[in-house]
Structure 1
């Protein structure tokens, strides 16, 4: 007796495609993409990794904090001290720092409200916004657009006659008064804008409308300007994604799950006290600083619970230890979507000395 099984259109189509493959029908890229979409769960079904509860209170005198990302955190909670990705607050589009190499806006990596002990540039500076070369604009050297570097970096340059060049000149003339720029050994650009309380509480800044400038026609637009920094971090612009592999990856787990494809999508940053760190309040590399390894280059027990992204305390650089003050931030690539060659970066919050290594 024959037995028939009711089959959904979805399963029928999937089985038909798979049968075609078995009889060695030549597969095209379109077939692969279709099979991927039929075989993998939709993005909405992916479960966000769980997060530990937020700390109840924070001691303002503490001089070391771990920084973790928690997409479900209440922005009003006192332990939430800013966000990664998304948009910077309190500045205007013309103050958004441009990349002098490519001409596009530098990617906003994070905005961080500083604990009292870290307000080392004066009591009026309560936060920073950090920007940098987009990861997909850095392939060992920055992606460049000829003729823009001098205009963007030199406000004293005479006003150009070309109206398209004048757009970049206008940005240089109207830069934020506290803008601080840095450049790494590869020529990639970074910037910090110190923020007042009023700026931190201000509206999110729209991305400068500069992508249609004809001078940028031959320089590809960074992904974050189309889908946002968090989605760009996970490569969500690619047409074919191995979702199972993606959701098991470190970056996915680090940002707490699947982000929305929006330039304003941001992930809250949570401060967690580093109470067991013996280097809290100590300048890095100085006489009283305790290295995070013993004479046999083994890590002691007190190192095990320290997170890779943090304010102050023990530093974990990939190569030589940069000499910085006690008030610095160390962060990984996923903390804003940067390309540090698989390494991490450090920023001194007083001097704005910046370093990274892989």
Structure 2
């Protein structure tokens, strides 16, 4: 089992990061356009029905297609909501149940989209218990990955008080957008090992005098499959398998305290929070 970095930018940038193994190969994109899924199945906030924002769609290396060899990529979404762990406000709860008499814009076409929405058969939406934000993941077939990109469904005119979507220019300023490339990691001692397990090598505890020392932040990407964990805040409460993926800043994604988002591809829950 190997570990892979996901490199953002041009093919030339990916080649510069390439050190061993096969040449870099296309691995998706980061940005607001989603994969070729039915818009009715676009992940939504369970509190207010707002469509989540697409951050990135990333191809899974074959050995990381743990759920099914026919699910070849993962699309990741997010939605800021400081109260995501609380019940929906009464007016939104009523609207989601079909009673629009308590919302500010009952004629908003958004509510028709909400009524027609349905879960993606391979999708999930979860709430970060620390920040309240929602994160969505959709496992994709080859057709959904390579087909025409889908624009985010229209956003509702009324936001709940705790929903605070950063303006698009802020997501661009702090986010990372563009093409993604898969590059095999060079000599990662933790390829095939689960972080936190007895055989995992915590290279951050080594020093320059140790023969096994590697400067992981110089050597590896914070967006990757397997191998050495890159989250600057450490593993925390998480218990993840060797088949995991970390994401940082792609498409404007932000996780509390600027940590990395961790997805365990060997579980149905997928997201693993600190």
When normalised by structure 1's length, the TM-score is 0.60
1:287 is displaced (CA, Å) by 2.1
* RMSD of Structure 2 on Structure 1 (CA): 3.5
1:333 is displaced (CA, Å) by 3.1
Give SS of 2:40's match: helix
Q: Quote the Cα distance in structure 2 between the aligned partners of 1:323 and 1:353.
A: 12
**Ranges in structure 2 where 5+ consecutive residues have no aligned partner:** 15-22, 101-105
Mapping of 1:273-312 within 5 angstroms?
Answer: 273-294=184-205, 301-304=213-216, 305-312=219-226
The 1:295–1:197 alpha-carbon spacing in structure 2 relative to 1, beyond 3 Å, is closer
The 1:191–1:89 alpha-carbon spacing in structure 2 relative to 1, beyond 3 Å, is same
Please tell me whether the aligned partners of residues 248 and 260 of structure 2 are also in contact (alpha carbons under 8 angstroms).
yes
Instruction: Name the structure 2 match of 1:199.
Output: 144
Mapping of 1:1-358 within 5 angstroms?
Answer: 63-71=2-10, 79-133=25-79, 137-138=80-81, 141=83, 146=89, 147-148=91-92, 160-162=98-100, 165=111, 167-171=113-117, 174-185=118-129, 186-212=131-157, 215-216=158-159, 222-223=165-166, 227=168, 231-235=169-173, 251=174, 255=176, 266-294=177-205, 301-304=213-216, 305-317=219-231, 318-321=233-236, 322-334=238-250, 336-351=252-267, 352-357=269-274
Please tell me whether the aligned partners of residues 222 and 230 of structure 2 are also in contact (alpha carbons under 8 angstroms).
yes
Q: Which has the higher helix share?
A: 1
Q: Quote the Cα distance in structure 2 between the aligned partners of 1:218 and 1:187.
A: 13
Give SS of 1:329's match: strand
Work out which structure has the larger RCO, using CA pairs closer than 8 Å and 6 or more positions apart in sequence.
2
Once the two structures are superposed, residues 65-106 of structure 1 have per-residue CA deviations (whole angstroms, 9 ceiling, x without a partner) of: 11221056799x961201111311111222111123453211
Q: Quote the Cα distance in structure 1 between the aligned partners of 2:262 and 2:2.
A: 16
Give SS of 1:302's match: coil
* Aligned pairs, number: 249
Once the two structures are superposed, residues 163-186 of structure 1 have per-residue CA deviations (whole angstroms, 9 ceiling, x without a partner) of: 665542332xx2211111221113
Please tell me whether the aligned partners of residues 245 and 265 of structure 2 are also in contact (alpha carbons under 8 angstroms).
yes
Larger radius of gyration: 1
Give SS of 1:341's match: helix
Q: Quote the Cα distance in structure 2 between the aligned partners of 1:132 and 1:149.
A: 21
